[in-house]
Structure 1
Amino acid sequence: MESQKGKLTRTHSSILRSPTVRSSIHSLSSIAADDEEEKPHRPHRRPPFRRNPPTHALLLTLPFALIFLLFLYLRNDCPLFANVLLFSSLFTAASLAARRFDLFRRGATAVRRVSSVEWSIGGVERKEKRAGRRIVREGVEFYSNGDFYEGEFHKGQCNGSGVYNFFGKGRYEGDWVDGKYDGYGIESWARGSRYRGQYRQGLRNGYGVYKFYSGDSYAGEWVSGQSHGVGAQTCSDGSCYFGEFKCGVKHGLGYYHFRQTCLGCRNGDKYAGEYFADKIHGFGVYHFANGHCYGGSWHEGKKQGLGMYTFRSGDTRCGDWDAGVLKTPLAPSDPTVEFVVQAARKAAENSTLVPRVDSQVNKAVAAANRAATAARVTAIKAVQNRIDGRFCDTHV
């Protein structure tokens, strides 16, 4: 993937215009195996109800027969008593019939529930068992460009955990969703660059650490494959920046400590303040290694506008600056100069108050390491399935 972008470029104020992350791969075929899966033992279940023997039914009808004979005997002599007796017997019979019907209905419902139970092994539901076969989720897929994938599949795409090897370029180890990097993982390239952290829909997203083969690194927030949010940037020469990023470049409040001579910057120079589009821009304070200091307005990395330059001896030069050169000297007590200098000092102070994200980054890196380890284990299982003949790879 690095070879697609060519050689990475870097300036002293930016190390990260991240290379495009490969967000998708070729479509993958579904994988299934023909071996039978062991069926679970179904325990014997007692029916929820059972019918009474015929002798019990005969005993239940006998009292109603006697009541009916008594009604026939008394209907002429005591018609009122006979009618009450008959009504009571009919009411009792109706109640018993209703109770019997309710028991029958509950029993039928229980039977339906028993018949809909999903049987499982080890407490994991396996709906594939209805067909008497087991779906092998781990497999190996080869591609015409030399790439290959070892890991889990679902509906013909990389899903779950797996390892994708880019032919002669690098590899990805971690989580997958619908054929794209999603979750946590590790990307590594042939030249030595590596990223560990979070992904979303095939792009670096969340927290993570990117280390370039040149020795530069970025640790912080990512959005859509670019450094975006708060992060720390370290260069191979020892220079470091901590602050805000936007779309891959420094933008907002930040603090930069220069270590070696770089584009006119002396060893040990420090700047704290505002950035815009990867350049010192706005209000800020620059401390030179020789003890000099400038606080005021900046434009694209140069002193521009009102500001005050203070020498190590304590002498000052104030006024309106143009491209780093003082054009209109003003007194230090000038209200406009004092206002701009105070704004620069406030911006420098705010840049040191940007919240750190070290703990979030460390957690993401640890999760990425775990995901990569799981992906390697899954890849081994996928290869073993192929060796055992439980997987038929598809060439595209």
Structure 2
Amino acid sequence: MELQKGKLTRTPSSLLRSPTVRSSIHSLSSIADDEEEEKPHRPHRHQPRHRHHLLHLLLLPLPFALIFFLFLYLRDDSPLFANVLLLSSLVTAASLAARRSALFRGGATAAVRRASSVDWFIGGAERKERRPVGRIVREGVEYYSNGDYYEGEFHKGRCNGSGVYYFFGKGRYEGDWIDGKYDGYGIESWARGSRYRGQYRQGLRHGFGVYKFYSGDSYAGEWFSGQSHGVGMQTCSDGSCYFGEFKCGIKHGLGYYHFRNGDKYAGEYFGDKIHGFGVYHFANGHCYEGSWHEGKKQGFGMYTFRTGDTRCGDWDSGVLKSPLLASDPAVQRAFQAARKSAENAILVPRMDPQVNKAVTAANRAATAARVAAIKAVQNRINGKFCDTDV
């Protein structure tokens, strides 16, 4: 089974957030109705009360005027009595003035208190309760319209840090996030049993990692933009194995293939097929060294039987078209080029240390993501909020 057959794609729409929008907007007519309802509650006796206060202010100086004239009348005949009368009137006037001043200040303070306790809302909109600053946390839970949900860390309204994303009925991702995308290290697993452990960049497998398919096939090596690209090893459930270069998810370049029937090939690949120069060892002991085209012997080459006999010449679609001597220059050039390509294919550097390092980092990132998910669920249960809309 080839690698591209087991490729699992993700649709970008699965990460689209679909927050539930609540509207508290009221029409202008409702605001006008509210204002009209307030008018009947205003008292209509304010004008008579103002006239009463005006009359009270006009009559207030009369007693003091009478006391003053009485003081002038008694000043010569009874000075002591007149002085006592004047002093008592002054004390009464001072206490009355102080009382009115205190009442005025008290009324103003009450008015200020009433004004400060009023909460104003446009159109009767519902007031949002302010969340205590100490209760806002980093970990939270968010649900999406397609059934997916995320548990983990947020920053500026996006998945950032460590977290677990659950695909509805399909699988999950556990690992690092940057700006709402997989970025760093993580583990991606699917319901049928496939799993990837390794590096990510901008939501795609990128760097080093191991992908194990539910069928038993696997690929371990370099990735680029979501595809096997670079040097890696592909193993299949039937026992076959390929190690070498990949390009855009297929075998391309130099590589070594061990077939399930025991055949072995080392040399050049092009477009997922044996193409170029290489050496093919058959399980029965035969060997072909020379030129290839799309998996068939094509061009000049040498076929050696296990008995030691050889057949050389120009080949066409696997059939010897023009027999030549082994010493023919064209045969020798193809023979040497095939052996050189086979040696280079075997010497392709292995990526095992880098892959193992990436897998270890992915396991750590997945563990941190699961811890963050547990905290997110606990925060939700305990009523702690994660401000995911900032």
Matched, 1:189 2:178: no
Structure 1: unaligned runs, 5 residues or longer: 1-9, 30-130, 260-266
- Name the residue aligned to 1:218: 219
- The Cα shift of 1:136 comes to 1.4
TM-score with structure 1 length normalisation?
0.67
1:58-137 to structure 2, matched below 5 A, reads 133=134, 135-137=136-138
For residue 197 of structure 2, give the secondary structure of its aligned residue in structure 1. strand
Paired residues of 1:27 and 1:156 also in contact (CA < 8 A) = no
Contact 1:285–1:296 (CA<8 Å) still a contact in 2? yes
1:217 to 1:363, Cα distance in 2 relative to 1, 3 A: same
* TM-aligned CA distance change 1:200 to 1:16, over 3 Å: farther
1:273 to 261, 267, 273: 267
Residues 347-386 of structure 1 correspond to what in structure 2 (within 5 A)? Answer: 347-386=341-380
Deviation of 1:288 after TM superposition, in Å, equals 0.1
Q: Tell whether the 8 Å contact from 2:152 to 2:372 is kept in structure 1 after alignment.
A: yes
Detail structure 1 runs of 4+ shifted over 3 Å in the superposition. Answer: 14-17, 21-24, 131-135, 392-395
**Paired residue secondary structure (2:153):** strand
**Residue 27 (structure 1) shift:** 3.4
SS in 1 for 2:15: coil
List per-residue Cα deviations over 1:29-74 (Å, max 9, x = no partner): 7xxxxxxxxxxxxxxxxxxxxxxxxxxxxxxxxxxxxxxxxxxxxx
Q: Percent identity?
A: 81
CA distance in 2, matches of 1:237, 1:224: 28
Alignment-derived partner of residue 341 in structure 1:
335
Q: Does 1:26 align with 2:16?
A: yes
- Map 1:246-261 to 2 at 5 A: 246-259=247-260
The residue number in structure 2 matching 1:43 is none
Give, in angstroms, the shift of residue 25 of structure 1. Answer: 1.1
Match of residue 286 from structure 1: 280
- Give the deviation of 1:137 after TM superposition: 1.2
The alignment status of 1:178 with 2:167, answered yes or no, reads: no
Q: Is the 8 A contact 1:171 1:188 kept in 2?
A: yes
CA distance, structure 1, for counterparts of residue 233 and residue 207 of structure 2: 14
Report what 1:158 is aligned to: 159
Letter in 2 for 1:157: R
For the 8 Å contact 1:18–1:225, the answer to whether it is kept is no
Structure 1 position 392, deviation (Å): 7.0
Matched-pair contact (CA < 8 Å) for 1:138–1:152: yes
Match of 2:79 in 1: none
Residue 332, structure 1, aligned to residue 322, structure 2: no
8 Å CA contact 2:150, 2:163 repeated in 1: yes
TM (norm. structure 2) is 0.68
Which structure would you say has the larger Rg? 2
Tell me, in whole angstroms, the C-alpha distance in 2 between the residues paired with 1:269 and 1:255. Answer: 11
- How far residue 28 of structure 1 moved from its aligned partner, in angstroms, is 7.4
